[in-house]
Structure 1
Amino acid sequence: MSSPPTAPHRPGRLGTGDRLFLTAVIGIPVLALLVLVWLPALASVALSFTSWDGIDLGDIHWTGLDNYHQILTNYPPFWPAVRHNVIWLLFTALLPTPFGIFLAYQLDKKIRFTRIYQTAIFLPMVLSLAVVGFIWEIIYNPDTGLLNSVLGTAGAGHPVDWLGDPDLNLWAVLVASGWRHTGYIMILYLAGLKGFDPALKEAAALDGANGRQTFLRVVFQALKPVNIIILVVTVMESLRAFDIVYVLGGGVGSKPGMELLSLLITDNIIGESGHIGYGSALAVVLLLVSLAAIGTFLVQTFRKEEQ
């Protein structure tokens, strides 16, 4: 006689403790995201259409698109800041990023002491941008700095003021930022190379490809997802550049030659000018540009998953 069929096992319902745990684990981060990110972002959008000194709530006045009109008419210097952000992006994309990729490709060849080299190159990434700024501030000191001492201009009566000269200070900050960015890109690309099939390199070598051709036509093409991530990281790093410029520039108040969008936003929102509406409009512009970069990354990612 056959036994009666057993009922399918159904998972038990969550108990009260489990529900409280899930609520805390999911609810607290979501609440923090809403309070610390989305509410300030929405408030910035609303304030960008107003005029406010940041002190008395009764002094908030609706101005419409006046703040955005002032942005386009270059008051304060919006277009110089945009130009400097573009220079920052081009410099980072053309020098530290390719150099980091080159180092990753070379260190992936199992050379001797590769771990030591990786650690030494990645070490600046462990430091915050503020600490990196303090290190390079010592290097760039016109009287006792390492750079002027090496060049022989320290104490000679005509030291090079790397951070005070409007023609040099932006490039000096870019070198400091690139020093840190190179190690970051190297680690990202090394992670991608660890998942790369070495048989593809061997096949390319059998076809007569040299090292440069193998990298450009095989490795670089196969690591397209990593390339997209590096591109987005480079764009975002260029847009949100603030800490190191703030330290090397001496705090709030952009030095001539160091104007960036992030510094303009800070100067207008928490600086002495108190142009909260104008600073919020600048923040909205920067937010839109950042969302465009993030949107490009998400579109590429979802398209890859569909394929």
Structure 2
Amino acid sequence: MSSVRSAPPAAPPRAPAPAHPAATRARPRPLRLGRGDRLFLTVIVGIPLLALLIFVWLPALASVGLSFTSWDGIEPSDIRWVGLDNYQEIFTNYPPFWPAVQHNVVWLLFTALLPTPFGIFLAYQLDRKIRFTRFYQTAIFLPMVLSLAVVGFIWEIIYNPDNGLLNGVLNGVAPGHHIDWLGDPDLNLWAVLIASAWRHTGYIMILYLAGLKGFDPALKEAASLDGANGRQTFLRVVFPALKPVNIIILVVTVMESLRAFDIVYVLGGGVGSKPGMELLSLLITDNIIGESSHIGYGSALAVVLLIVSLLAIGTFLAQTFRKEDQ
């Protein structure tokens, strides 16, 4: 008789493992700012936005509206709609506009070709860890700490035709030499450009030096191992790699050239452009706060300057970002 094995008894069902305390814990609720935090954020964000709206955007929009009117700036009831007459007068019947445009172009070319490359050159040299680097940085950047109005007062003393520093040096070299640097229409614009370049060079130096501090030194070492000298390393390795800094420098140079006002206002003697020192910013000021106020015409000039600035910078940035996307 064959024996039949009996099946082993089934194991009792295992009780489910107790859930981990972390799993049973409810999901943390998103952190909600308290009433005081919301009030603080509203204040620190709202006040700058409100100031930007009141002091920048509203005057800009008001200038656009006033550019289509004729107004002497006294009684609001005297505002008279003239349409595009102010713009037509700018381009046809007002001769100082074109010399001002020419001088702004000269300012842009001078700034882009002399102080800007010189500031980049100084930054590259100071980045090589030469002796007294900190002293040189401070001395070159010091004019940037000063406002353009203070820089104008300093150079007004230097250019003084009677007892100025520059004429004193010239008289020491060639006695009897006397030059009216700010009164001569053939010299005054270049004199102001040199004073502006003194300040602009330090600004460009600091911007480019900041970019060089983040540059990978291994790229320079690789270029030197390939036999590249210092000039070739800068032009073929460093300069292309710092393209974002180059874009910032170009935009800053264009903006500084288009909005040049303070130093010209000081060296030019206030409202009323001297012959040879006409700039768009000075024409705007002369027509808005001058003796014969033409608010509408001055606002039209301001709109033209705004459009030129937006077109120049917007076109350049669009082309730059398009190339990066490609």
**Alignment TM-score, normalising by the size of structure 1:** 0.95
Post-superposition offset of 1:301: 7.6
Which residue does 2:110 correspond to in 1?
A: 91
Corresponding residue of 1:173: 192
Alignment of 1:67-106 (within 5 A): 67-75=86-94, 77-106=96-125
Aligned partner letter, 1:10: R
How far apart, CA to CA, are the structure 2 residues paired with 1:10 and 1:50?
58
Retained in 2: the 8 A contact 1:49–1:62? yes
SS in 2 for 1:17: helix
Give secondary structure in 2 for the equivalent of 1:161.
coil
Counterpart code for 1:136: W
Work out the percentage of aligned pairs sharing the same amino acid: 85
Equivalent position of 1:23 in the other structure? 42
CA contact (8 A) 1:96 1:181 kept: yes
Structure 1 residues 266-305: aligned runs within 5 Å: 266-296=285-315, 299=318
How far off its partner does 1:7 sit?
2.2
Q: Structure 1 pair 238/220, CA: closer, same or farther in 2 (3 Å)?
A: same
1:229 to 248, 265, 272: 248
- Contact 2:167–2:177 at 8 Å: present in 1 too? no
Change (3 A) 1:294 1:28: farther
Give secondary structure in 2 for the equivalent of 1:257.
coil
**Does 2:214 match 1:198?**
no
Shift of 1:292: 2.8
Are positions 1:115 and 2:134 aligned together?
Answer: yes
Q: Which residue of 2 aligns with 1:259?
A: 278
**Which residue is equivalent to 1:2?**
18
Per the alignment, residue 247 of structure 1 pairs with 266
Alignment match of 2:158 (pick from 102, 120, 139): 139
Aligned-partner SS, 1:152: helix
**Measured at CA, do residues 61 and 155 of structure 1 come closer, stay the same or move farther in structure 2, by a change above 3 Å?**
farther
- Where does residue 161 of structure 1 map in the other structure? 180
Aligned residues: 307
> Is the partner of 1:258 in helix, strand or coil?
coil
Q: Does structure 1 conserve the Cα–Cα contact (< 8 Å) formed by 2:67 and 2:297?
A: yes
Contact 1:143–1:154 (CA<8 Å) still a contact in 2? no
Shift of 1:294: 4.3
Further displaced range: 207-216 or 226-235: 207-216
Give 2:239's aligned amino acid.
Answer: F
Instruction: Please tell me whether the aligned partners of residues 148 and 154 of structure 1 are also in contact (alpha carbons under 8 angstroms).
Output: no
Structure 1 residue 43, shift from structure 2 partner:
0.2
- The Cα shift of 1:159 comes to 1.5
Distance 2:32 2:84 in 1: 54
Alpha-carbon spacing, 1:70–1:187, altered in 2? closer, same or farther (3 Å): same
Matched to 1:32, the amino acid is A
* Alpha-carbon spacing, 1:269–1:128, altered in 2? closer, same or farther (3 Å): same
2:7 alignment counterpart = none
Judge conservation of contact 2:170–2:177 (CA < 8 Å) in 1: no
Asked whether the equivalents of residues 171 and 177 of structure 2 are also in contact (C-alpha less than 8 Å), the reply is: no
> Which shifted more, 186-195 or 25-34?
25-34
CA spacing shift, 1:138–1:96, aligned 2, 3 Å: same
Letter aligned with residue 23 of structure 1: T
Unaligned runs of 5+ in 1: none
Report which of the two structures shows the higher radius of gyration computed on alpha carbons: 2
- Which residue of structure 2 lines up, in the alignment, with residue 43 of structure 1? 62
Question: In the aligned structure 2, how far is the partner of 1:101 from the partner of 1:217?
Answer: 15
Query: SS at 2:24's partner residue?
Result: coil
Decide which of 206, 225, 228 is 1:209's aligned counterpart: 228
2:10 aligns to what? Answer: none
- 1:145 and 1:154 in contact (8 A); partners too: no
Distance 1:57 1:191 in 2: 50
- In structure 2, the CA distance between the partners of 1:77 and 1:238, relative to structure 1 (3 Å rule), is same
2:107–2:257 CA contact under 8 A, matched in 1: yes
Q: Is the 8 A contact 2:63 2:303 kept in 1?
A: yes
* Aligned equivalents of 2:190, 2:221: Cα separation in 1: 41
AA at the equivalent of 1:2: P
| Unmatched 5+ stretches in structure 2 | 1-16
Hey, what's the Cα distance between the residues in 2 that align with 1:105 and 1:265?
39
Deviation at 1:22, TM superposition (A): 1.6
CA distance in structure 1 between the aligned counterparts of 2:187 and 2:172, rounded to whole angstroms? 16
Compared CA separation, residues 154 and 72, structure 1 to 2 (3 A): farther
Q: Give the equivalent residue in structure 2 for 1:151.
A: 170
CA contact (8 A) 2:161 2:167 kept: yes
